[in-house]
Amino acid sequence: MKPVKIGVLGLGTVGGGTVNVLKRNAKEISRRAGREIVVTCASARDLTRKRSCDTQDIRLSTDPYEIINDSEIDIVLELIGGTSLAKELVLQAIANGKHVVTANKALIALHGNEIFSAASKANVIVAYEAAVAGGIPIIKAIREGLSGNHINWLAGIINGTGNFILTEMRDKGRDFNDVLKEAQALGYAESDPTFDVEGIDAGHKLMILASIAFGIPLQFENVYTEGITKITRADVEYANELGYRIKHLGIARKTKAGIELRVHPTLIPERRLLANVDGVMNAVLVNADAVGPTLYYGAGAGAEATASAVIADVVDVARALTLNSINKVPHLAFQEDSIADLHILTHEQIETAYYLRLTVEDKPGTLAQITQILAQQNISIEAILQKEPLPDQTLVQIIMLTQKTIEKEMDDAISTIKNLSSVTGQVTRIRLETLG
Ligand code: NDP
Ligand code: HSE
């Protein structure tokens, strides 16, 4: 049988890793795919740049259109990133009858509805396993492995860079910017790293997961995103003292009122497996009605871990080509005419518990005022920690854990607390999930 011919757009971290693994594991991969898989051409911006992979037998070009218009190419790998050129290239490749494998979560989260619709009409596959949680086969697990279940919620550490930064800050007391630079050098970070640290990248991934878990259209604009830039070492230490870890979580939950889609730093009990997912590792906990909780763990970023997911998609496409049965699995898990536009909750409507840190004057009555404001908003306190004032200082830190409440009630309570004359500066609020 003829080999399956691949054209690779982008030879950076993921493109280079993919070419390397395809070459190193060629025999094993073709045993699985039923066909030989050959990279025949690839594009990058600067052909003089030293590459991490051997490009000797690959035709190189600076023009990605040369690849998508090449009639010999069966599968195009979009590994450029971004949403402008990548979208044009993917839609053109589909129009040209090519199957597409992409690692681009921004592209899928923002333009996936349009891309999948075009792919279905053209009867080609667009596969995107590498777009979420790097090397973890989470798309396949949810879309296929859990298809007998009603999925209740999922929660995951889905940005490797952010988790790497939080872990290094906690374990080694390292500086935020210093660790971010290392994550960039290791190829973990997005080309614009604010996507990693401000929660946008995790938001893209959460949207994709929620879509395939609940059968809803992709709608990134409805995801609440908050990053890790405001987390201080003090918060990390106080959380530890209370038996919690701060992790940057993406949470999608189906409630009677609607669907919660949110990404933010979260306190989780240290005994939970998710609390112990460190460094660049990612993990996604899925709670489904029949199987109960299942946890998926692995490297969330990096050249070969991501290549593993890209190549799994390539093998799926190669098998489909060989069996001549296209799109057996719907792109967003549910049949296209069964995608339901369920109500998405605003962040003010979500229900969660909280960690609060306040800087207050050390005088009688202050704590009573604060607890009264919380009580007025029906917010129950779970634990309180008051730190000794530093020598010669009258200000103390108060840390509180609350029970679950609706976020609007907490927003209102915080605005009132901030106006108290005994409270100084900002009130730090981090959401807390027990994930039970
Ligand atoms: P890199 O920046 O390392 O590589 C991008 C590649 O695309 C480079 O080879 C670059 O060329 C090429 N390129 C960029 N812009 C253009 C353009 N305008 N025209 C032609 N070629 C272009 O990115 P990554 O490999 O890290 O990421 C690629 C995709 O994979 C992104 O969507 C990212 O979100 C996703 N991803 C990344 C992971 C990771 O761990 N890095 C993990 C999972 C997904 P040149 O080399 O000449 O500059
Ligand atoms: N920048 C992303 C991360 C790459 O750090 O998780 C993997 O999607």
DSSP secondary structure letters along 372-422: HHHHHTTPPEEEEEEPPPPTT--EEEEEEEE--EEHHHHHHHHHHHHTSTT
16 lines ligand 1 (CB under 6 A): no
pLDDT digits (tens, 9 = 90+) for 357-389: 999 998 889 999 999 999 999 999 999 999 888
Residue in 276, 267, 279 with CA at minimum distance from that of residue 243:
267
Give residue 319's pLDDT: 85
Q: Rounded to whole angstroms, how far apart are CA atoms 160 and 48? A: 30
Inter-residue contact 289 to 153 (CB < 8 Å) = no
Q: Which of 127, 125, 2, 8 is nearest to 66 (CA)?
A: 8
Q: Do 141 and 296 touch, CB atoms closer than 8 A?
A: yes
Q: Distance from the CA of 190 to the center of ligand 1, in angstroms?
A: 8
Q: In angstroms, rounded to a whole number, what is the distance separating the alpha carbons of residues 353 and 239? A: 14
Ligand 1 site, residue 309, Cβ cutoff 6 A? no
Q: For residue 85, how far is its CA from the centre of ligand 1 (angstroms)?
A: 12
CB of residue 80 inside a 6 A radius of ligand 1 = yes
Distance of alpha carbon 359 from alpha carbon 428, whole angstroms: 9
- Ligand 1 mean position to 11 CA, how many Å? 7
CATH class of 4-135+303-338: alpha beta
CA–centroid distance, residue 134 to ligand 2 (Å):
7
Both structure tokens of 122: 């053209």
Residue 200 and residue 189: Cα distance in Å, rounded? Answer: 12
First to last CA, the chain: 51
Fold of 139-299: Dihydrodipicolinate Reductase; domain 2 (3.30.360)
Closest ligand 2 atom to Cα of 162 = 5
Find out whether the beta carbon of 304 lies less than 6 Å from any atom of ligand 1: no
pLDDT for 326 equals 60
The predicted structure's pLDDT at residue 73: 98
**pLDDT beneath 50, residues of the chain:** none
Q: Top-level CATH class of 351-432? A: alpha beta
Type of residue numbered 52? S
How far does residue 312's CA lie from ligand 1's centre (Å)? 19
Q: From residue 175, give the alpha-carbon distance in Å to each of 132, 157, 170, 238, 261.
A: 27, 21, 10, 18, 30
What pLDDT does 331 receive?
A: 76
Q: Which ligand is nearest to the CA of 105?
A: 1
Does 432 sit in the ligand 1 pocket, CB within 6 Å? no
Domains 139-299 and 351-432 share a fold: no
Task: Compute the distance between CA of residue 373 and CA of residue 368 in angstroms, rounded to an integer.
Answer: 9
What's residue 327's pLDDT?
Answer: 61
CA distance 400 to 238: 10
**Catalytic positions:** 205
Report which of 217, 288, 224, 209 is spatially closest to residue 261, judged by C-alpha positions.
224
Residue ranges of the domains in the chain? 4-135+303-338, 139-299, 351-432
Tokens of 155: 């929660």
Residue 269: closest CA among 286, 246, 252, 296: 246
pLDDT of residue 393: 82
Alpha carbon distance 359, 218 (integer Å): 41
Token code pair at residue 183: 């994550």
Q: Please report the atom of ligand 1 found closest to the CA of residue 301.
A: 40
Task: Give me the half-sphere count of Cα atoms (radius 13 Å) on the Cβ side of residue 117.
Answer: 8
φ and ψ of 94, to 5 deg: -60, -45
pTM here?
Answer: 0.91
* Rounded Cα distance, 407 and 347, in Å: 7
Atom of ligand 1 nearest to the CA of 49: 47
Please name the residue whose Cα sits nearest to atom 17 of ligand 1: 45
Q: What is the pLDDT of residue 332?
A: 81
Q: Compute the distance between CA of residue 127 and CA of residue 124 in angstroms, rounded to an integer.
A: 10
14 pocket-lining for ligand 1 (C-beta < 6 Å): yes
Cα 19 to ligand 1 centroid, rounded to whole Å:
13
Ligand with minimal distance to 19 CA: 1
Distance CA 177, CA 181 (A): 6
Q: What is the pLDDT of residues 290-346, one digit of tens each?
A: 999 999 999 999 999 999 999 999 999 998 887 656 666 667 878 788 899 999 999
Residue 31, pLDDT score: 85
Residue from 14, 188, 191 whose mutation best tests the ligand 2 pocket (most atoms within 8 A of CB): 188
- Which protein residues are within 6 Å of ligand 2, measured from CB? 134, 159-161, 188-190, 196, 201, 300-301
Tell which residue, 160, 206, 168, 208, has the closest CA to residue 187: 160
* CB 108 less than 6 A from any atom of ligand 1: no
